[in-house]
Amino acid sequence: MMGRSHTLIGLATVTALAAANFWPLSPAVLAATAIGSLAPDIDHPQSTLGRPLFFVSYPMNATIGHRTGTHSFLALAFCTLAVLIAEAAGCANIGYGFLVGYVAHIGADLLTIEGCALLYPWDRARYAFWPAVQTGSLGEAVILLPILGLVLGIAYWLNPSFFDAARQLRLHVPFLFHVPVT
């Protein structure tokens, strides 16, 4: 999937988990989730993170290829280790946000034709599940909406008052900028 789809799915998922009272949302958690949502594609030189970090993405792409090691259970094990380190360092929520984004990325890529080499490096077979859309195609946009609707729908079902709070926040924000001009 494209970077923007991954970011949207990651942010929707972390919002749903915050609504379910797993942890509080903060700008730092949202930023960590967005980075986690984009991180697996560091193995592709044309990806959102791969372009600025070309000195990482080019060698990775040349050696292990795209959607292999960074889209595997092994990568998730390393991410879990990173979360444990973040926990020990006192920034557990940021670690959870990153992990949620990372897991959501792999989950979303499993719904595309290209799939993910989940068992890399032991097995290079690609796994993909229905509806297996083409990355960047209209199909991706078509499945994105129900995914976001489902995730945010579950969040609303779990905790409608969370969204009341968000709505009130949005209603009050314009007043911050309501400075009379004379």
Distance CA 123, CA 117 (A): 7
Least distance from C-beta 42 to Zn ion, angstroms?
A: 9
Strand partners, 112: 133
Give yes or no for residue 43 binding Zn ion (CB under 5 A).
Answer: no
| Count of residues in contact with Zn ion, rule CB under 5 A | 3
Distance CA 117, CA 40 (A): 12
**Angstrom distances, CA of residue 134 to CA of 72, 101, 103, 139:** 20, 21, 20, 7
Least distance from C-beta 6 to Zn ion, angstroms?
A: 7
Distance CA 89, CA 87 (A): 5
Least distance from C-beta 174 to Zn ion, angstroms?
A: 37
Distance CA 167, CA 5 (A): 23
Nearer to Zn ion, 72 or 93 (CB): 72
Instruction: Note the residue count of the chain.
Output: 182
The answer to whether residues 111 and 133 touch, using CB atoms and an 8 Å cutoff, is yes
Least distance from C-beta 86 to Zn ion, angstroms?
A: 22
- Window of 18-26, 73-81, 86-94, 104-112 that interacts with Zn ion by CB under 5 A: 104-112
Least distance from C-beta 179 to Zn ion, angstroms?
A: 43
Dihedral sign for Cα atoms in the order 142, 19, 168, 104: negative
- Window of 22-30, 92-100, 108-116, 159-167 that interacts with Zn ion by CB under 5 A: 108-116
Give yes or no for residue 41 binding Zn ion (CB under 5 A).
Answer: yes
The answer to whether residues 44 and 66 touch, using CB atoms and an 8 Å cutoff, is yes
Least distance from C-beta 105 to Zn ion, angstroms?
A: 6
- Window of 32-40, 57-65, 147-155, 174-182 that interacts with Zn ion by CB under 5 A: 32-40
Nearer to Zn ion, 48 or 109 (CB): 109
Strand partners, 116: 127
- Window of 75-83, 91-99, 102-110, 126-134 that interacts with Zn ion by CB under 5 A: 102-110
Give yes or no for residue 109 binding Zn ion (CB under 5 A).
Answer: yes
Site residues, Zn ion (CB under 5 A): 40-41, 109
